[in-house]
C-alpha cells in the first residue's frame, strides 16, 4: 500500500507544481484544473485502518508542522509574492510534520516520505543558494555558465543554430526574430534536481536500501536530472529559433513540470524494481 501511495503523492506533487506554475505564469484555467486533479488524487490515497487520535509523544512535532504551514501562508499573502518551488516545499514539509500527530502508521509513513523529500530540497537550497550567497560564493552563476549555458550552446552549434554568448548567463539567438535569453535561476535545473534527490532520499529511507544502492541511485538521479534539463533548454531554444519568443515562453511554462513528472516516474519505477530483487 505504501508504494501505491508514494506514486500517488508523486502525481499530487506534479499536479500541484504544474497548477501553481500555470496560475502564476500560464493559463489560470489549466492551473485550476490541475489543482482540482491534485485534490482528486488525494482522495485516492488509501490508509490502513487505525485509531486516529492524537498521541502525546508527537504533538510537539505536529504543532511545529502547523506553525510552518501557517507561517508560509501568512508570508506569501503579506508579501504578495507568487507561489514558487521553495514555498511549495516549505508548505509540504510543514504538512508532513503534522502527520506525526496521528496514531496511524500508514499516514505517518506517507508523512515521513514527504518530510524526507521536502527537507532534502530545503537543506540543499539553503546550502547552495542561501549559505553560498552569504559567503559570496557565486556557485549558481558558475554552474549556470559552465554546466548549463556552454553545453547548450555547444549542442546548438552542432545543430547549426546561430547563437552567441553575450554574458555569463545570456545568449543572443537569431531565428524568426532576434532575441536575448538569460539562462539562470529556475532554468539551471537545480530545483528539479533537488526535488528528484529528495524523492530518492525519502523512498530509500522508507524501504531501507543498502548504502551502495542509495549512492548509486543518487548518482543516477543527478546525471538524469542534469541531462533532462539540458534537453529541456535545448528544446526551448529550438522552439524560440523556429517560432519566436512568445511560443518559446508558452512551451517554457508547461515543459518543465511535465519532464520532471516523467523523470520522477522513471526513477520510482527503477526503485520499485530494485526493491523486488
pLDDT band at 117 (very low <50, low <70, confident <90, very high): confident
Mean pLDDT comparison of 6-15, 29-38, 43-52, highest-scoring range: 29-38
Cell of residue 222, nine digits = 543527478
Cell of residue 5, nine digits = 501511495
Q: To which residue does cell 497548477 refer?
A: 19
Tens-place pLDDT, residues 215-231: 888 998 899 989 999 99
> Where are the chain's structural domains?
2-49+79-275
What's the rounded Cα separation, in Å, for the pair 263 and 257?
A: 10
Query: Closest Cα to residue 115, out of 61, 164, 55, 70?
Result: 61
What's the rounded Cα separation, in Å, for the pair 244 and 20?
A: 25
Cell of residue 16, nine digits = 500541484
User: Does the structure show a pLDDT above 60 at 56?
Assistant: no
In this structure, of 47-61, 74-88, 92-106, 202-216, the range with the lowest mean pLDDT score is: 47-61
Query: Closest Cα to residue 88, out of 198, 211, 235?
Result: 198
Residues 6+ away with beta carbon under 8 Å from 165: 149, 150, 153, 171
Global pTM value: 0.83
Report in angstroms the alpha-carbon separations of 214 from 135, 237, 261. Answer: 30, 35, 21
User: Does the structure show a pLDDT above 60 at 248?
Assistant: yes
Tens-place pLDDT, residues 14-29: 777 777 667 666 666 7
Q: Give the count of beta carbons closer than 10 Å to the beta carbon of residue 71.
A: 13
What's the rounded Cα separation, in Å, for the pair 230 and 237?
A: 11
Q: Which residues pair with 174 in a beta bridge?
A: 178
What's the rounded Cα separation, in Å, for the pair 61 and 159?
A: 54
Amino acid at each position: 500500500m505504501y508504494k501505491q501511495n508514494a506514486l500517488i503523492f508523486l502525481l499530487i506533487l506534479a499536479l500541484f507544481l504544474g497548477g501553481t506554475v500555470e496560475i502564476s505564469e500560464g493559463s489560470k484555467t489549466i492551473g485550476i484544473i490541475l489543482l482540482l486533479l491534485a485534490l482528486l488524487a488525494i482522495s485516492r490515497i488509501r490508509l490502513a485502518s487505525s485509531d486516529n487520535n492524537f498521541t502525546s509523544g508527537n504533538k510537539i512535532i505536529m504543532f511545529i508542522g502547523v506553525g510552518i504551514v501557517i507561517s508560509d501562508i501568512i508570508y506569501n499573502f503579506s508579501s504578495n509574492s507568487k507561489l514558487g518551488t521553495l514555498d511549495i516545499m516549505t508548505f509540504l514539509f510543514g504538512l508532513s510534520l503534522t502527520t506525526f500527530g496521528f496514531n496511524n502508521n500508514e499516514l505517518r509513513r506517507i508523512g515521513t516520505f514527504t518530510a524526507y523529500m521536502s527537507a532534502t530540497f530545503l537543506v540543499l537550497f539553503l546550502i547552495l543558494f542561501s549559505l553560498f550567497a552569504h559567503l559570496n560564493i557565486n556557485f549558481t552563476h558558475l554552474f549556470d555558465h559552465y554546466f548549463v549555458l556552454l553545453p547548450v550552446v555547444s549542442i546548438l552549434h552542432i545543430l547549426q543554430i546561430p547563437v552567441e554568448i553575450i554574458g555569463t548567463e545570456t545568449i543572443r539567438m537569431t531565428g524568426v526574430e532576434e532575441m536575448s535569453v538569460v539562462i539562470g535561476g529556475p532554468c539551471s535545473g537545480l530545483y528539479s534536481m533537488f526535488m528528484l534527490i529528495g524523492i530518492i532520499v525519502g523512498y530509500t529511507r522508507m524501504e531501507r536500501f543498502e548504502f551502495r544502492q542509495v549512492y548509486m541511485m543518487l548518482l543516477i538521479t543527478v546525471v538524469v536530472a542534469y541531462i533532462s534539463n539540458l534537453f529541456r533548454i535545448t528544446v526551448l531554444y529550438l522552439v524560440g529559433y523556429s517560432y519566436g519568443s512568445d511560443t518559446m515562453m508558452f512551451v517554457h511554462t508547461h515543459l518543465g513540470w511535465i519532464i520532471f513528472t516523467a523523470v520522477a516516474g522513471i526513477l520510482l519505477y527503477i526503485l520499485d524494481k530494485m526493491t523486488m530483487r
